[in-house]
């Protein structure tokens, strides 16, 4: 298959970040340019640009003369990321309550139900993909694309950290129920309940 050239670094970076989140690359694992070229059908130039983009987003680390490896956050970093997410998402969810329309509410409800089903029957990759779609769609209604991007960058920053994925089936099911509770609060236009639910959801760190 011919390689895709001229791919926007951010777009290719998002694909690589999703692969990390799905467990395709583990924290601390070294990533070879040739692997990125082959797996994502990218040119070496585009692969290098995307990896550099992920270093800026602190999804990867770059070691001179060695290459790129998946960022492996320590407990303190995970705590700081969680605090930053709470700070941003609590205020953003208030704007979501104001801005969200019925069509988007319906889409979120469908994703919440899809995630609940995937919790029992889906693969980890499918669960992560649906979970990501839910969070991206949720904060697309915040009215602030800069904050929206910051929230997603923070979520990606923890990548596949063992402390940032579901540790058990119960944790996965609870995350799915959280999504359904958040949608119900949005349907009720209850800003204060939405704030409490999003903070609780982040505190589990499996989001």
pLDDT at 147: 94
- Tens digits of per-residue pLDDT, 53-62? 999 988 899 9
Quote the distance between the C-alpha of residue 191 and its chain's center: 23
Q: Do domains 9-70 and 75-203 have the same CATH topology?
A: no
Map out the domains of the chain as residue ranges: 9-70, 75-203
Tell me the C-alpha to C-alpha distance, in Å, between residue 147 and each of 27, 99, 183.
Answer: 26, 15, 20
pLDDT at 207: 47
**Helix residue ranges per DSSP H, the chain:** 9-21, 33-40, 44-56, 75-99, 102-121, 124-139, 145-157, 169-187, 191-203
Q: What is the CATH architecture assignment of 75-203?
A: Up-down Bundle (1.20)
pLDDT at 171: 86
Which residue ranges of the chain lie beneath pLDDT 70?
Answer: 1-9, 159-165, 205-207
- Tens digits of per-residue pLDDT, 8-32? 667 899 899 888 887 788 888 999 9
pLDDT at 142: 96
Contact between 192 and 110 under an 8 Å Cβ cutoff? The reply is no
Q: Which fold has domain 9-70?
A: Arc Repressor Mutant, subunit A (1.10.10)
pLDDT at 22: 77
Tell me the C-alpha to C-alpha distance, in Å, between residue 80 and each of 18, 26, 86, 175, 205.
Answer: 21, 21, 10, 21, 12
């Amino acid at each position: 298959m011919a390689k895709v050239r001229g791919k926007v670094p951010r777009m290719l970076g998002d694909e690589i970040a999703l692969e990390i989140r799905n467990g395709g690359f583990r924290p601390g694992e070294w990533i070879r340019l040739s692997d990125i070229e082959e797996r994502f059908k990218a040119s070496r130039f585009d692969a290098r640009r995307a990896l550099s983009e992920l270093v800026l987003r602190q999804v990867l680390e770059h070691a001179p003369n060695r290459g790129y490896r998946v960022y492996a956050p320590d407990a303190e970093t995970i705590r700081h990321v969680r605090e930053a997410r709470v700070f941003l998402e609590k205020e953003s969810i208030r704007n979501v309550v104001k801005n969200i329309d019925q069509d988007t509410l319906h889409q979120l409800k469908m994703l919440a139900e899809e995630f609940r089903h995937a919790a029992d029957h889906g693969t980890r990759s499918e669960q992560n993909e649906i979970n990501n779609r839910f969070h991206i769609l949720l904060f697309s209604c915040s009215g602030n694309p800069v904050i929206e991007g910051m929230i997603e960058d923070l979520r990606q920053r923890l990548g596949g950290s063992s402390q940032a994925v579901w540790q058990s089936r119960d944790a996965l099911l609870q995350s799915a129920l959280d999504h359904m509770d958040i949608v119900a609060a949005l349907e009720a236009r209850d800003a204060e309940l939405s704030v409490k639910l999003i903070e609780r959801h982040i505190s589990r760190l499996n989001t």
